[in-house]
Structure 1
Amino acid sequence: MAQVRRTPLAEQAADLLLERIRAGEWSLGSKLPGENTLGPQLGVGRSTVREAIRRLAGQGVLTTRQGAGVFVASLDIIEDWSTALRQADINSVIEARIAIEVEAAALAAERRSPTELGVMKRAGDQRDAQRTDIEAHVDADIAFHRAIVAAAHNPILVDLFDSFTPRSRQAMIDLLRINGEFGSDTDQHAHLGILDAITDRDGQTAAALAREHLLTLKIG
């Protein structure tokens, strides 16, 4: 049986599961084997199997029933549904980012230290340098925003940001792929504006600019 050989593993595992569903190994409505069975078949761990299932559920192929297992909901990807779900998830992520990052920007302007300001500026420079690769750009963007959250000196905001990062990262990658462009001068200037307000200890402006920037990312 074919095994995963390339990365990202979850995406490759999802592709292999989809191939098996298309080939008729599992009929519509049938239950998939458990993670302990699928993992060795695909050559990946349980966490990767879970992520592959989540991806296919987001594409309308699988459905998870609490306490019952994972079932085949469609024999192929439902393209329109998949796109709609991705867009809905992106907007939900952006709304959550607003809840965390707008307040963090205001607090960072009030509480940041000279050292933390230096970290934010270096992160801004690194973000500016990453304009050719989507994933590298998103990672640099996350580092910039995390530096702001850290400078807010609120450990709960930091914990929320960190626990939310994996889902936020994927949503931002999806967003940039949907948009077909990223790393514009306008986008970079928006981030520098937030940084300037934090530098000036202007919490009201920092919060307003953070909110304005994040709202521009929403779809629809």
Structure 2
Amino acid sequence: MSPLGPLRPSPLVDQATRRIEEQIAAGHWPVGGKLPGEVTLAKELGVGRSTVREALRALAGAGMVQSRQGAGVFVTADRPSEDWSARLRRAELAHVYEVRTVVEVQAARLAAVRRTEADLAAMDEALTARLAAGEGGDAAFVTADIALHTAVVAAAHNPVLSDLFAEFVPVLKERLVELVGLLELRKGDPNHGHPAHAELVEAVRRGDAEGAGQGLAAELEATRARLLAA
């Protein structure tokens, strides 16, 4: 009897993808092995070849199979590859902060060298907005804080650094709101970290690459240390 079995009507491509993925994960088709042809898979699943073709395309996108011209489709992994965003979401925040520091400190150094008047205006505006957000809740404050950091990274004029930092933003927004409350970072100081952030902007303004990098590194490390101690 076929290990697959016919499918019931519903989103057939999704079902086909999931069924083939399950069989690969179970070792029915081991890594390095060759999958049956489209005709065979279509017959066993009770679907058309186009559905099988779409399912195999989805599995290829997940890094589980690879089509080899003239040879067929081969299994390359027994589970879907995890994208960067998903990896960040389940990572410990302290580890995220370590990588964030690498990205942002270098961006701050570059920003001090490459910033334009428009960049400085954007940073000033973001710094003012961060200060004003101190009167609001934690979510508004975190959003304003990240906006300032984003403006500094943008001033580096390196699209790769900007893209890397953008990957951190959703995770940071979600996790930092919890962190601010948990560690009571704003207790007694609703504008937590304002002097350090103001000095960062000034270091970038005066073209002090080392000052900008060192100041930001110290600020991020202080938060990471509090995370580890919590």
Q: Is the TM value for this pair above 0.5?
A: yes
TM-score with structure 2 length normalisation?
A: 0.56
Note the residue ranges of structure 2 that are not aligned, 5 or more in a row. Answer: 1-77, 81-88
Which residue does the alignment assign to 1:112? 115
The question of 1:176 aligning with 2:176 is answered no
The question of 1:143 aligning with 2:120 is answered no
> How many percent of aligned residue pairs carry the same amino acid?
34
- Rg larger for: 2
Question: Secondary structure of the equivalent of 2:185?
Answer: coil
* Maintained 8 Å contact 1:93/1:171: no
**CA distances 1:32-86 after superposition (whole Å, capped 9, x unpaired):** xxxxxxxxxxxxxxxxxxxxxxxxxxxxxxxxxx859xxxxxxxxxxxxxxxxx9
The question of 1:153 aligning with 2:157 is answered yes
Partner amino acid, structure 1, of 2:116: S
Partner Cα separation in structure 2 for residue 170 and residue 93 of structure 1: 13
Instruction: Identify which of 189, 194, 201 aligns with 2:195.
Output: 189
Partner amino acid, structure 2, of 1:109: A
Shift of 1:127: 0.3
TM-score with structure 1 length normalisation?
A: 0.58
Partner Cα separation in structure 2 for residue 151 and residue 204 of structure 1: 16
Note the residue ranges of structure 1 that are not aligned, 5 or more in a row. Answer: 1-65, 69-85
The count of corresponding residues between Structure 1 and Structure 2 is 137
The question of 1:217 aligning with 2:223 is answered yes
Instruction: Identify which of 72, 96, 101 aligns with 2:99.
Output: 96
Partner Cα separation in structure 2 for residue 217 and residue 109 of structure 1: 23
Question: Secondary structure of the equivalent of 2:193?
Answer: helix
* Maintained 8 Å contact 2:107/2:153: yes
Partner amino acid, structure 2, of 1:90: L
* Maintained 8 Å contact 2:185/2:192: no
Q: Which moved more, 1:201-210 or 1:91-100?
A: 91-100
CA RMSD across the alignment: 2.0
